[in-house]
Structure formats: structure tokens, C-alpha cells
Amino acid sequence: MEPDLLLNEVAAVSVTCVIGLQWGDEAKGKLVDLLTDEHEIVVRYQGGSNAGHTVVTGGQTYKLSLIPSGILSPNVQCVVTGGVVLNPASILQEIDALVARGIKVGKNLMLSDRAHVIFPWHIAEDRALDKSCSSGENIGTTMRGIGPCYGDKVARSFAVRLGDLYRDNFRERLEYITAAKNRSLVSLNGQTGHTQLDAEAIAREYASYAKRLAPYVGDTTAYLLDAVEAGRRVLLEGAQGALLDVDHGTFPFVTSSNSSGVGVSSGSGLPGRWITKVIGVVKAYSTRVGGGPFPTEQDNEIGQHIRDRGNEYGTVTRRPRRCGWFDAVAVRYTARLSGVDALAVMLLDVLSELPDLKICTAYEIDGRRITNFPSHVEDLRRSVPVYETMPGWQQDITKIRKMADLPLAARKYLDRLSQLIARPVEVVSIGPDREQTIFARPKS
Ligand code: IMP
């Protein structure tokens, strides 16, 4: 290939990523929805139906889990890559619910034949294993079988990928796997605590899923490489948040995939050097679902106020989310880890009634002040947040559409976040609707 031709191709590449920088639920779905107009392809590349996002558009609310919110835009191609763990029943339910509401789901959805498939034993293992987490505190998973499915993927022997459902030996493999899983689940749960998995019934059930999913299945890696080389504009939407990254998050209180920016390339199959922009999404405060340390947690009336105002209940499990102040130590870490270029600050309106706002700017461990995010979860557990207090704004901001019209205290709060994380704030969200969004540089 001619060297200058290669240069031309690289110059045309446009790949944007949206990454949550906290513990998930940063309202990434809304941002992805807003950015979708500027992209031709929207990609989900890790996680599974543990994620849930709500998109409000045209007065309608859509709750999506595995399918990218790009599906709501008829001209956008949606891709679910091999980095995802896929529960066929869940995705079919999502497809049916969208179709029932008049949304087109056909060639505009592509599912990777490399995606690993979730089976009933993964959900049974999730239940059994979450109980026995070594520190005594449960991980508090979403019980969707995510961790056990990723575990089988890495261990390989019992893994089934979507493409395997269409192979002649699928039935035979299923018998082998169910026999082994029946044995291991009996040893985890005891004879009485385990209902035997029936290979025959599972084979029938999954054959019917395979039939229905067949029109969507393909090689998404090849598709995306071709698409980027052809200069098509791609948007990659991360699921969960960077603090839940299996390698770089608050292990073991994490999810089982690389949910920070480091996972984009392995999950999608696109080389990291092709990523042209990374937008880090944060809430104006912090939330966490499930177990694990959360230094800025406010298990008090402030936390409850945030929960009520922000409707902080899980989209997937409806569990109340733990709420607290913005943690700039954690977000500075995840912004660097994810190679973030700019920030989107969501749910700023939730803080509107509070007289004072706190931002955690450092931790103290045994009287020693640190600004690096601890690598061991027990050090994080011992970390005492050092706060800076800023005045709040007692004013409704949900109808404001320009940065300059925000109350001075709100602008100062955003400036301080930007300064602490060393990234510009490009987007501010002040309500669930598309219109309730402020762009630092107005969109052309
Ligand atoms: P899992 O992903 O179901 O294995 O759950 C592992 C941890 O990640 C638990 O603390 C979950 O609450 C959390 N988690 C998983 N998915 C999400 C999400 O989409 N938002 C927030 N937390 C999540």
C-alpha cells in the first residue's frame, strides 16, 4: 500500500468513545443519544444486561440494556461486539419491546458471533458465588450471570459463543457442559439447593433463540474495521463506569469486564490509535450500587435528598443507589486511565436545593494525605475524604440552555471540577430531556 494512501485513511478516522468515570449510571445513555446524530454507527462493546440506560426522546421513555440507544435513530447502524456477554432471552425481549413501539429493528442491528452467551447456569453461579465473597461483604452483583459467563470465556472449556449456537456439535457440547455444571452447582449449593439443568430443554430453548437471532448475527470486528477504514463515523458506548473495571477498578467490587477506557479496543476490535475522542461522563455527585468502599458516601439525609431528587434507583434491579459527594480523586484517576479529552457533567440540577456542596480533593489514610487513587480496596476502605466546600445555588436550573445563564455558584462548581480533573467540561445536563443539555461550545 502507498504510504500516503495509508495517511489519508488514518486522517479520515472518526471514532468517539463515551466512558463513565464513576461506578456506572452516569447517564451515558442520554449523552450517547445526543451524540448519535453526528455518528453513523453506535457500538456496545463490553458488559451485558447488567447495564441499563434510560433515554427520553420525543416525550417517550425507552429503557435499554444490551441494544445501543442508537436504535432509536432509523439511519444509525447498531453493533453489539464480541466483548459483550449476551443473554439471548433478554435481547429478544428488548427487540420485541422496541418493535411493539414502532421502532425498526432489522439490518440496523448487528450482533457479534464472538459474543459469549449467558446460560441458566451462569445465573445460578452468580447467585451462589456472590454469597461467598471472601471479605464477608457481598459484591452485590446484578445477578444477570455476567461474571460467571466472563469466567467461562477466560477459562474456555465451557464457553459458548453466539456463533457456536449454529454449529452441528452444539447439542453435544451442551450435554457435556450441563453435566459438568450440574456437578459444580451441587458442590456449591448442595443437592437440595440445586435444580438439575436439563440439557434437552436448554438445547430446545436456545435453538429457538438462535433461529430468531440469526438475521442479526455477523462478524462485527471485520465490519467495524471496514467501516472505520471507509471513514464512517463511529460512536462507542461504554457500559458501567471505570471504577468498576475488573483490572483497574475497586476490585473485587467490580464488574467482570474492562469498563474503563482501556477496554474499548479489546471489546470492539478497533485499534486504540484509531480512537479520536474520549468523553468522560460523570454525575455532579457520586453513586454506587452494590457492595464495596465508597469514601464520599453520605448515608444520611444528604444522600437521601440526592437519591430522591436524582431518582437514584437501579434501572436493571431497582435497588436504591448509594449516594455521596463528588470524588475528584477517583475521577481524576479514571479520566487519566481512560484517556479522557473532555467531560460531560450530568444531573447538575439534582444538587440545586443544597445550601453547600462538597468535593473530595484528597484522601487521608492513617493521617497521611494522598491524591492518588489506592490500588488496594482495603486502603480505599480506610481512606477518609478531605473535602472542599463550595456554596450551592438555590435556584431551578432545569430551563437554562446556556452556560453563561447558569447561576455563578453552579459555574464555579463546574470550573472547580474541571480544574481538579484537568479536563474541560464540554457538556452539562440539567434534566432528562434532550433539550435539557448545555454545550460549552454550542453544536453547529
Ligand atoms: P455484575 O456486573 O452484575 O457482576 O455486578 C458487579 C458490580 O457491578 C455490582 O456492584 C453491580 O451493582 C455493579 N454494576 C454492574 N452493572 C452496573 C451498571 O450498569 N451500573 C451500576 N453498577 C453496575
Rounded average pLDDT over 297-321? 92
**Percentage above 70 pLDDT, the chain:** 96
Residue 45 and residue 234: Cα distance in Å, rounded?
Answer: 12
pLDDT for residue 4? 52
The region, left, alpha or beta by phi > 0 then psi within -120 to 50, assigned to residue 145 is: left
Q: Is 73 in the pocket of ligand 1 (CB under 6 A)?
A: no
Say which of 53, 116, 194, 248 is annotated catalytic.
Answer: 53
pLDDT for residue 443? 59
DSSP string, 281-321: EEESSEEE-SSS--TTB--SHHHHHHHHHHT-B-TTT-PBP
The atom of ligand 1 lying closest to the CA of 319 is 12
pLDDT for residue 316? 75
Q: Do residues 234 and 129 make contact, with C-beta atoms less than 8 angstroms apart?
A: no
Say how many Å lie between the CA of residue 160 and the centre of ligand 1: 22
Q: Which of 86, 116, 255, 323 to mutate to test the pocket of ligand 1 (most atoms within 8 A of CB)?
A: 255
Please tell me which residue, 112 or 129, carries the higher pLDDT value: 112
Q: Is 140 in the pocket of ligand 1 (CB under 6 A)?
A: yes
pLDDT tens-digit profile of 245-296? 999 999 999 999 999 999 999 999 999 999 999 999 999 999 999 899 999 9
Say how many Å lie between the CA of residue 293 and the centre of ligand 1: 14
Q: Is 256 in the pocket of ligand 1 (CB under 6 A)?
A: yes
pTM across the whole model = 0.94
The atom of ligand 1 lying closest to the CA of 25 is 20
Among 142, 146, 68, 169, which residue's Cα sits nearest to residue 109? 68
Question: Which H/E stretch holds residue 359?
Answer: strand 356-365
Q: Tell me, yes or no, if 376 is annotated catalytic.
A: no
pLDDT for residue 282? 98
pLDDT for residue 274? 95
Question: Which H/E stretch holds residue 150?
Answer: helix 146-155
Say how many Å lie between the CA of residue 278 and the centre of ligand 1: 22
Q: Is 25 in the pocket of ligand 1 (CB under 6 A)?
A: yes
Say how many Å lie between the CA of residue 219 and the centre of ligand 1: 27
Q: Whose CA is nearest to atom 10 of ligand 1?
A: 290
Q: Whose CA is nearest to atom 20 of ligand 1?
A: 24
Say how many Å lie between the CA of residue 44 and the centre of ligand 1: 16
Please tell me which residue, 2 or 284, carries the higher pLDDT value: 284
Among 160, 166, 136, which residue's Cα sits nearest to residue 148? 160
Residue 233 and residue 37: Cα distance in Å, rounded?
Answer: 10
pLDDT at residue 25 greater than cutoff 70: yes
Q: Tell me, yes or no, if 25 is annotated catalytic.
A: yes
Q: DSSP 3-state assignment of 428?
A: strand
Give bridge partners of residue 271 from the DSSP assignment. none
pLDDT at residue 313 greater than cutoff 60: yes
pLDDT for residue 364? 98
Residue 239 and residue 374: Cα distance in Å, rounded?
Answer: 23
pLDDT at residue 76 greater than cutoff 80: yes
Give bridge partners of residue 236 from the DSSP assignment. 17, 43
